[in-house]
Amino acid sequence: MLGYIFFAITVLFYVGLALFTASKPSLVGENAMGYGLGLAFFGLGFAVSSLVLTITLITTGKVSWVANEAEWRTTIVLVAWLFVVLTTFFCAIFKWEWHSDADNTYPQFLHGLAVGHGLVWIPLLWLVACFLSLNTSWQANLSLIVLKSSFFAALAISGLYSGGLLLGYVRDSARQSEAEMARRKEQENQWHQQTLDFIASQKPEDSILGLLVHTNQFRENDIRQAALAKIKAHPDWEADILALLKNEHWYREVYTFLDGNRVTRSREFAEALNQSVARLAGDVVDNIQNSNNLQPWSFDSYGISELLRAIDEQFGEQGVDFRPNVRKLQQALKTTPPERFRDVTFNATHEVDAWLAKQNR
């Protein structure tokens, strides 16, 4: 009895979906929203009720004629349900909504079957097989050829349709991925050119500060070289950079430059750099104690990696002992934070620990 009830509910949603899409809808404004909601209602209703019907047929042994082994029988029947539901729903969609005949992303036969009332006759084949399976006496009186022909025809056609949907989805995903990659590449090229234009607009009387960020050794070579050329066009560029390194607000910006770019006044820079490490330690403590958002990456932008590389590659042999101030920085990074951030360990802590360990070998 339960099988007949869900069969009747499935048929109601099936007929409702067919009638709902019988005439061309108005796909403008609120009408389009209403049409979409209607498709969702009838499509979801058909999917759920037909699934319950399918499960009922399987659990009551009504589809034993599909295959001898229970595992195969269950798999085939559930796959048939899935294919029929997908075919029914997308036939309803593609009947009135199709990109264009010139766009071959989705195979054209999907639209052809939708226009050819595939929404009606493809699930009907499956519904006939389900209805005849509900009564074992009907199965006994009918030739299994009729029952199997109806079921497997629905399975084959809906399987082909579902395969077309999968192919279209793969093509569409690939096309969207290519379009996104092209968009990102175009955006990167635009940013790249904007950076070059900004560097080109700088004059010797302008501040060096805005150019330093573009001089890191890992920057694109054309941008880096253009920024270095502009910096060195300043009459006394090393003195300007040294002044920024001694400045309590801008010293961290100089770390980017010193990571990979050599200076001639090495001793002066080494001393100023060492003093800046102590200043950095104080800023880190202040940030930890007063911040309302501490994350492992909170100090990644402080230039600590660049600072340590600059010491190793350029200033380690200048007779300046950086270790005491780097230890201050190490302790600063381990400052006790507010209670809610007690479990946070900063990425920079590992870098500083590793640097000091290397110095003590």
Residue 193 lies in a domain: no
Counted domains in the chain: 2
Residue 29 confidence (pLDDT):
67
| pLDDT tens, residue by residue, 1-11 | 778 899 999 99
Residue 135 confidence (pLDDT):
79
Asked whether residue 37 falls in the same domain as residue 173, the answer is yes
Alpha-carbon distance of 221 to 18, in angstroms, equals 63
Asked if residue 223 has pLDDT above 70, the reply is: yes
Residue 140 confidence (pLDDT):
63
Residue 228 confidence (pLDDT):
95
What average pLDDT does this structure show over 328-347? 92
Asked whether residue 238 falls in the same domain as residue 347, the answer is yes
**Average pLDDT along the chain:** 90
Residue 144 confidence (pLDDT):
76
Asked whether residue 119 falls in the same domain as residue 262, the answer is no
3-state helix, strand, coil in the chain (%, to 5): 75, 0, 25
Alpha-carbon distance of 131 to 124, in angstroms, equals 10
| pLDDT tens, residue by residue, 163-216 | 999 999 999 999 999 999 999 999 999 999 999 999 999 988 889 999 999 999
Which residues make Cβ contacts (< 8 Å) with residue 296, sequence separation at least 6?
Answer: 344, 345, 346, 347
Asked whether residue 265 falls in the same domain as residue 344, the answer is yes
Residue 138 confidence (pLDDT):
67
Asked whether residue 15 falls in the same domain as residue 160, the answer is yes
Asked if residue 245 has pLDDT above 80, the reply is: yes
Residue 66 confidence (pLDDT):
85
Taking Cα atoms as reference points, which of 174, 100, 166 lies closest to residue 182? Answer: 174
Asked whether residue 350 falls in the same domain as residue 223, the answer is yes
Residue 61 confidence (pLDDT):
86
* Contact yes or no for 49/10 (Cβ under 8 A): yes
* Contact yes or no for 215/257 (Cβ under 8 A): yes
CA 256, 258, 263, 267 dihedral sign is positive
| pLDDT tens, residue by residue, 51-89 | 999 999 999 888 888 888 888 989 999 999 999 999 999
* Contact yes or no for 144/65 (Cβ under 8 A): yes
| Residue 332 banded pLDDT, cuts 50, 70, 90 | very high
Asked whether residue 165 falls in the same domain as residue 262, the answer is no
For residue 355, what are the domain limits? 209-359
Residue 91 lies in a domain: yes
Residue 251 confidence (pLDDT):
94
| pLDDT tens, residue by residue, 348-358 | 999 999 999 99
Residue with tokens 């910096």: 231
Asked whether residue 302 falls in the same domain as residue 355, the answer is yes
Alpha-carbon distance of 21 to 119, in angstroms, equals 9
Asked if residue 27 has pLDDT above 70, the reply is: no
CB atoms within 10 A of CB 265: 12
Asked whether residue 66 falls in the same domain as residue 107, the answer is yes
Last residue within a domain, chosen from 136, 155, 186: 186
Give the largest CA-CA distance in the chain: 104
